[in-house]
């Protein structure tokens, strides 16, 4: 990603970086975009207490894997604590998320090694940077926002169900046993899959629609193309949506790159609708 030629104001963050995060959050006027794989209630309370009122819009991205929840690394109750403080919210779970990013009002951002946990905020040895530049911060925001197109949406009602389950005696018992047994045998693992399955169907529709829009746009601008050529154009157009390190895994086996699977679904979707056709190994818009 390239920026115009100018000096970008950066500040190195290490010890007491949470004070810079507190200051950044306190200056929010309209929007907070944040990504963190792990989040606990202490971390969520830190964010909640630092935010001014009124709170307008939050984009909250994390990784709600049952394993992380059972191990106490990612708590739906913490997510709910933040989400309920905003008038508008978009919450999503992205498997494989590793970024820890906070962007306020498209003008300032923090990128850090720290998760939103007690250790990440106060006791671990962490390092990061504060970006005080409108253009760079806006681009960081767009990268994180683009991850939402690959992530599974978590509606507020779904998050509330997950949070309620995390307060049950069964969950607390299984949380204590999580290091001593196969997680898939726990009812929490099955319950999370059940709750998230409805949101997953809507997520797949959204992601297919998004990639379909890219395919249609590329074919309209470039003319007939092979699938490999479409892949190259999509990767050039939206590299952040095409992570080559994430495979489509079924039954423990890899079936190629996940983003290419999304492209294939989009092609078939457009073909069924009569928008594109495959002739001689080349995709083209139907006239």
Q: Which of 3.40.50.720, 1.10.540.10, 3.40.50.2300, 1.10.10.10 would CATH assign to domain 211-285?
A: 1.10.10.10
Q: By C-alpha distance, which of 210, 220, 217 is closest to 259?
A: 210
Q: For 25-42, how does the pLDDT look when each residue is reduced to its tens digit (9 = 90+)?
A: 999 999 999 999 999 999
Confidence of residue 221 (pLDDT cuts 50, 70, 90): very high
pLDDT, mean of residues 236-246:
83
**Of 101-110, 139-148, 202-211, minimum mean pLDDT range:** 202-211
Class of domain 10-183: alpha beta
Q: Is the dihedral of CA 118, 185, 201, 249 positive or negative?
A: positive
Q: Please report the pLDDT score of residue 2 as a whole number.
A: 47
**Residue 219 predicted with pLDDT over 90:** yes
Res 131: pLDDT: 96
- Tell me the angle at which helices 258-272 and 187-222 cross, rounded to the nearest 10 degrees: 60
Average pLDDT value for residue range 8-12: 89
Report which of residues 282 and 54 the model is more confident about: 282
The C-alpha atoms of residue 185 and residue 174 are separated, in whole angstroms, by 10
According to DSSP, the β-strands at 152-153 and 276-279 are unpaired
- Up-side HSE of residue 226: CA atoms within 13 Å toward CB? 4
Does residue 166 carry a pLDDT above 90?
no
- The mean pLDDT value of the chain amounts to 86
Confidence label for 237 from pLDDT (cuts 50, 70 and 90)? confident
User: Where in the chain are the domains?
Assistant: 10-183, 211-285
pLDDT score for 77: 92
Please tell me the pTM assigned to this model.
Answer: 0.66
The residue among 268, 14, 274, 247 whose CA lies nearest residue 122 is 14
pLDDT tens per residue across span 106-133: 999 999 999 999 999 999 999 999 999 9
Within 89-226, where are the H helices? 118, 134-147, 156-165, 169-177, 187-222
How far are the Cα atoms of 71, 74, 113, 168, 188 from residue 180, in angstroms, in the given order? Answer: 11, 19, 29, 20, 15
pLDDT at 173: 67
**Cα–Cα distance measured from residue 231 to residue 205, given in angstroms and rounded to the nearest whole number:** 20
């Amino acid at each position: 990603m390239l920026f115009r030629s100018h000096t970008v104001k950066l500040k190195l963050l290490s010890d007491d970086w949470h004070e810079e995060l507190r200051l950044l959050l306190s200056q929010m006027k309209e929007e907070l975009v944040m990504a963190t794989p792990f989040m606990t209630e202490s971390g969520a309370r830190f964010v909640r207490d630092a935010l001014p009122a009124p709170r307008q819009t939050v984009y909250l991205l994390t990784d709600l894997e049952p394993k992380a929840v059972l191990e106490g690394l990612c708590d739906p109750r913490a997510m709910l604590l933040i989400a309920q403080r905003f008038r508008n919210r978009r919450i999503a779970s992205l498997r494989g998320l590793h970024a820890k990013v906070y962007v306020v009002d498209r003008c300032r951002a923090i990128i850090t090694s720290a998760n939103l946990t007690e250790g990440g905020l106060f006791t671990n040895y962490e390092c990061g940077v504060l970006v005080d530049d409108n253009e760079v911060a806006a681009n960081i925001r767009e990268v994180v926002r683009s991850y939402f197109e690959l992530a599974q949406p978590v509606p507020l009602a779904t998050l509330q169900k997950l949070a309620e389950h995390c307060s049950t005696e069964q969950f607390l018992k299984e949380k204590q046993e999580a290091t001593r047994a196969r997680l898939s045998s726990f009812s929490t693992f099955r319950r999370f899959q059940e709750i998230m399955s409805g949101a997953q169907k809507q997520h797949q529709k959204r992601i297919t629609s998004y990639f379909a829009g890219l395919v249609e746009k590329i074919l309209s601008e470039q003319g007939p193309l092979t699938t490999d050529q479409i892949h190259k154009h999509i990767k050039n157009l939206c590299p952040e949506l095409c992570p080559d390190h994430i495979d489509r895994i079924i039954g423990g086996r890899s079936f190629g790159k996940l983003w290419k699977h999304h492209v294939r679904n989009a092609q078939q979707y457009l073909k069924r609708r009569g928008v594109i056709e495959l002739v001689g190994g080349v995709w083209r818009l139907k006239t």
